[in-house]
Amino acid sequence: MIKKVTDYIILCWEGVRKGNESAFSDLFKLYYSDIYHYGISIVNHPDLVKDTIQDVFSRLWEKRASIGEARNPKAYLLTSFRRKLFLNKEDYSFETTDDIIRDAAQNKFSFEPSDFLETNELSEQFRHSLLQALNSLSARQQEIIILRFYHQLRYGEIAQIMSVNEQTVRNLMHRIIEKLRNKIDPALKDEIGKIGHLDPYPLLSGWGNKII
* Neighbour-count burial of 153, counting CB atoms closer than 10 A to its CB (0-12 exposed, 13-18 middle, 19+ buried): buried
DSSP conformation class of 196: G
Asked if 78 and 39 touch (Cβ cutoff 8 Å), the reply is no
CATH 1.10.1740 fits 2-104, yes or no: yes
* pLDDT at residue number 204: 53
Asked if 74 and 12 touch (Cβ cutoff 8 Å), the reply is no
pTM, full prediction: 0.80
* pLDDT at residue number 88: 93
- Name the stretches of the chain with pLDDT < 50: 1-2, 100-101, 104-105, 199-202, 207-212
The Cα 142–Cα 102 span in angstroms is: 21
* pLDDT at residue number 104: 47
Domain ranges of the chain: 2-104, 113-197
Rounded (10°) CA dihedral 24, 41, 139, 157: -20
What CATH number does domain 113-197 carry, 3.65.10.10, 1.10.10.10, 2.40.128.20, 1.10.40.50? 1.10.10.10
- Count the Cβ atoms, other than its own, within 10 Å of residue 10: 15
* Neighbour-count burial of 29, counting CB atoms closer than 10 A to its CB (0-12 exposed, 13-18 middle, 19+ buried): exposed
The Cα 53–Cα 78 span in angstroms is: 10
The Cα 146–Cα 144 span in angstroms is: 5
The Cα 212–Cα 209 span in angstroms is: 9
